[in-house]
Amino acid sequence: MSGKKSIKYRIGMGLIFFGMICPLFSFLVPFLNLSTAMSSTIIAFLMVGGPELFLIAGGALAGKEALDSIKHKLFKPAGKTRYTIGMTLFISGIMVNWVLIYLVLTDVVGLDHKSLLIIVGSIDITSITGILLMGTEFFTKCKRLFTWEGVDSC
């Protein structure tokens, strides 16, 4: 698709983008002072149903070339620097989460639920960003981690 993009393509790409960031809006729901049932319903939609709906609709509108372009950009091989930054973000996110859990459970740090939700959500976003930065090398290593490569002893 060269030159000017069609309105169908632009709407599709917008829906794909919104589907990818849709779960982030669930962190704002507790601040809306809605009933528990309404908050739970909205959060469930933003975390589970909404992203899939927007990604499928966006993919259908944007077309195969747009989806291939997104896939190529997100899952391209990472260089050493990008991989190192991604691994640092990923590991530090996990470690900070573990430490924070113990600090909160032992009442060393007193946080209300909303503050804790924002902190943990931010840490999770950092870890996910780290995974995406590591590129295809990370997924290849994970696949090897769960594949038996030893010698069977019978």
For residue 6, report the phi and psi dihedrals to the nearest 5 degrees.
-70, 160
Q: pTM of the entire structure?
A: 0.55
Confidence of residue 1 (pLDDT cuts 50, 70, 90): very low
Asked if residues 96 and 116 have their Cβ atoms less than 8 Å apart, the reply is no
Q: What pLDDT digit, counting tens, does each position of 99-138 carry?
A: 888 888 888 888 787 788 788 878 888 888 888 888 878 8
Answer yes or no: is pLDDT of 43 > 60: yes
- DSSP per-residue letters across 10-49: HHHHHHHHHHHHGGGGGGTGGGG---HHHHHHHHHIIIII
Show me where the domains of the chain are located: 1-74, 76-146
Query: To the nearest whole percent, how much of the chain has pLDDT over 70?
Result: 95
